[in-house]
Amino acid sequence: MESLVRGGTRWRRFAVVMVPSVAATAAIGVALAQGALAASFAVSGQEFKVTAKTLHGNGFVQYGAVDAEVNGTKHPVAVSAFSSATITGLCQSVVIPAPFVGDVTLKLSAGNNGKKVKASNLYIDLDQLDADATFHDINIGVAAGAVNPDYAQPENAVKQGAPGSFAQEARTADLTDVRQTAWATSAGTFKLAGLSMSVKKGSGAGVECY
């Protein structure tokens, strides 16, 4: 299976992805079984948790993809992309099994106490999302390669998809009380105002973000 990247390699087909991502993952899984999706991003194999109090994004697109580990294990994901995003109350945590020690949790927080996290060309490869969401000027089932030219889209987003494939787009998106699990996050720029990072032994509630 051809390994694809976001820098301009041709993508084949995308599944229609809707929130909540429980339904999205099921739809992508069907597409994967039918051979409709190709690997889009190499991941480490460590899934991580993310929460945010608020996320305001411009130039939103969402489509189905499959992330692949180096060992070949594949993970169907919903890729949410924003040309720019402002986030408050951000928390990200990942559990790392350590020999002779047990679970160790690396936790990062930013955008608290009146500060904001800002990102450009933000991509989040997720397999579970819970949030209250409002989309403005949304188009569902838009053909990849034919997105609205009036929308500020992320670089190398669905425009790179094959004509006739499906996705969804919105001029802006507002999410509150965000809770998700993800396999990868990438951005052109990621400004973490008020960054705080800790490493603690253990895992679960009270150690991870949730």
- pTM of the predicted model as reported, rounded to 2 decimal places: 0.77
Q: Which domain holds residue 189?
A: 21-201
Asked if the structure places residue 117 within a domain, the reply is: yes
Residue 28: predicted pLDDT:
46
Please give the radius of gyration of the chain, using alpha carbons only, rounded to the nearest integer. 17
pLDDT 10s digits, 151-199? 666 765 544 444 555 678 899 999 999 999 999 998 889 999 999 999 9
Q: Which long-range contacts (CB under 8 A, 24 or more apart) does 21-26 make?
A: 21/78, 21/126, 21/127, 21/128, 21/129, 21/180, 22/128, 24/64, 24/78, 24/129, 25/76, 25/77, 25/78, 25/127, 25/128
Res. 45 pLDDT band, cuts 50 70 90: confident
Amino acid at 202: G
State how far Cα 133 lies from the chain centre: 15
Asked if the structure places residue 158 within a domain, the reply is: yes
Say if residues 157 and 61 touch (Cβ distance below 8 Å).
Answer: yes
Asked if the structure places residue 210 within a domain, the reply is: no
Asked if the structure places residue 14 within a domain, the reply is: no
Asked if the structure places residue 81 within a domain, the reply is: yes
d(CA 74, CA 52): 27
Structural domain tally of the chain? 1
Say if residues 153 and 119 touch (Cβ distance below 8 Å).
Answer: no
What is the number of alpha carbons within 13 Å of residue 185 lying toward its C-beta? 16
More confident residue, 76 or 118: 118
pLDDT 10s digits, 2-19? 334 444 333 333 333 334
Res. 108 pLDDT band, cuts 50 70 90: very high
Asked if the structure places residue 49 within a domain, the reply is: yes
